[in-house]
């Protein structure tokens, strides 16, 4: 279902995003309010804000930051942030350096899993991105799933057309092989969640838990604990959440007096089944706009 607000989309300033901030604004012309919230990077905001003003769109400055809470990797969205705050550039610098170092380790683990893949194949894709020396799980997926020698591989059949992981094959491959706890996982030195929340607050923004149905799946007790840790809101409406999940997160946010937001988590080619402004449930955009109206720039 289509919403007039989408506060979670990624530009090519994310290591897995496809489009420029300007292109994202162009794709959002029928929206009312948007945010570009890149992974551990806030550089898209200046261009996205300028283009939004030209298009008559409301814009909220934002970013999405990796963090750790009780040993679990989770994502925290910052809304209404001062994107020139120096600690955001420090986060980007430190994580980018870690990602470069970890790419070689990720390749080693991929080879140990039995996949035939080379540095030149990875660079053929990564050289087209802004992060030429970073090989994400999605890049490994793109190379492996498009190799002719694996066309009939049974282990890869879920990611082929008609398979149960084929809607977003590259990112699904990442979740299944390279996310926390999986054989290709390489840890990154993410800041504790409380530190990310503090930095967002220092910049004048609000901290919102991104897509809890992904990172807190089957961990309701930990989710409940986290929502008492100083977070300001929950991304209740997400392209990942079905009706029952949305209802649960909505009731939790209401009970704990937390901000309610919505975001598709649009990336482009790595998530082809995710579209700007589209959700599985109806989004009460008036309520969401009221939650964040102090941060909307026109």
Can you give the pLDDT at residue 112? Answer: 97
Q: Give every residue of the chain whose pLDDT is below 70, as ranges.
A: none
Can you give the pLDDT at residue 292? Answer: 95
Tokens at 168, concatenated: 């977003």
Can you give the pLDDT at residue 5? Answer: 97
Tokens at 12, concatenated: 């090519």
Can you give the pLDDT at residue 53? Answer: 96
Tokens at 169, concatenated: 């094959």
Can you give the pLDDT at residue 121? Answer: 97
Can you give the pLDDT at residue 1? Answer: 82
Can you give the pLDDT at residue 2? Answer: 86
Can you give the pLDDT at residue 139? Answer: 97
Q: Which domains does the chain have, with CATH numbers?
A: 5-92+192-295 (3.20.20.140), 106-177 (no CATH)
Distances (CA, A) of 253 to 146, 208, 257, 265: 42, 11, 6, 20
The helix or strand, by DSSP H or E, that contains position 36, with its residue range, turns out to be: none
Give the CA radius of gyration of the chain.
Answer: 19
Strand pairing of 206-209 and 72-79? antiparallel
Tokens at 282, concatenated: 């109806």
* CB contact at 8 A, 260 and 234: yes
Tokens at 267, concatenated: 């990336």
């Amino acid at each position: 279902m289509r919403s007039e607000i989408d506060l979670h989309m990624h530009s090519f300033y994310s290591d897995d995003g496809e489009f420029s901030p300007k292109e994202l604004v162009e794709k959002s012309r029928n929206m009312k309010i948007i945010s570009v919230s890149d992974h551990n990077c806030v550089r898209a905001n200046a261009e996205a804000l300028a283009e939004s003003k030209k298009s008559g769109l409301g814009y909220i400055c934002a970013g999405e930051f990796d963090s750790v809470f009780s040993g679990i990797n989770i994502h925290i969205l910052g809304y209404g942030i001062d994107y020139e705050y120096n600690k955001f550039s420090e986060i980007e610098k430190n994580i980018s350096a870690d990602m470069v170092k970890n790419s070689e380790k990720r390749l080693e683990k991929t080879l140990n899993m039995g996949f035939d893949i080379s540095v030149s194949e990875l660079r053929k894709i990564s050289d087209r991105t802004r992060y030429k020396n970073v090989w994400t799980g999605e890049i490994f997926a793109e190379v492996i799933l498009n190799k002719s020698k694996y066309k009939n591989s049974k282990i890869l059949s879920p990611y082929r057309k008609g398979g149960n992981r084929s809607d977003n094959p590259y990112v699904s491959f990442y979740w299944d092989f390279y996310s926390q706890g999986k054989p290709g996982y390489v840890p990154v030195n993410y800041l504790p969640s409380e530190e990310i929340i503090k930095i967002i607050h220092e910049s004048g923004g609000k901290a919102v838990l991104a897509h809890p149905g992904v990172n807190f799946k089957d961990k309701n007790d930990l989710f409940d604990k986290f929502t008492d840790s100083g977070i300001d809101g929950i991304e209740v409406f997400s392209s990942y959440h079905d009706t029952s999940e949305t209802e649960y997160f909505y009731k939790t946010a209401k009970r704990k007096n937390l901000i309610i937001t919505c975001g598709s988590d649009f990336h482009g080619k790595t998530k082809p089944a995710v579209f700007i402004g589209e959700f599985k449930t109806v989004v009460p955009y008036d309520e969401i706009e009221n939650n964040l109206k102090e941060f909307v720039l026109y």
